[in-house]
Structure 1
Amino acid sequence: MMMMPTAASLMDDLVEEFLIRLPPDDPASLVNASLVCKRWSRLIAGRVFRRKFRKIHRAKLLHMARGQVYRQRRRRRQRQ
């Protein structure tokens, strides 16, 4: 007898498919997506996600520091 996937695992798969298609030339988009919730953050930080992302985009996934995004936002606010 086959086990049916749970709703949570199906949702994770859907979210992962969405996140994998974010543009690789804009690493801030992945950082921002990781800030949505803990589940998304865990998906993006996972080894499986990074492997799939590299396979699809054929690019190395940069190590992203959340602090860089915050500094960029702060600079934009200061300029305004």
Structure 2
Amino acid sequence: MEFITNKIEAVKTELSKLKNTPNYDLLKSIIEILEEVAGKQDLQTVKIDELEEKTEYQDSMINDIQKVIIDALD
């Protein structure tokens, strides 16, 4: 994610050199959209990480329960 943020910042720096060009406002709008998308992507990544942690925890609990049941049957 940091890579994307750095790229966007680099483009913004280059864009600032084009302030007096006819397409400046359009380019600025595109950069704003890219920043919004990058932010949403970052949130999605966090949610995916949280789900993976929850899944790992649940898998661990299931394994522990299975061991208890097997031990009880022996």
TM-score (norm 1): 0.31
Higher relative contact order (CA 8 A, sep 6+): 2
Structure holding more helix per residue = 2
Greater CA radius of gyration, 1 or 2? 2
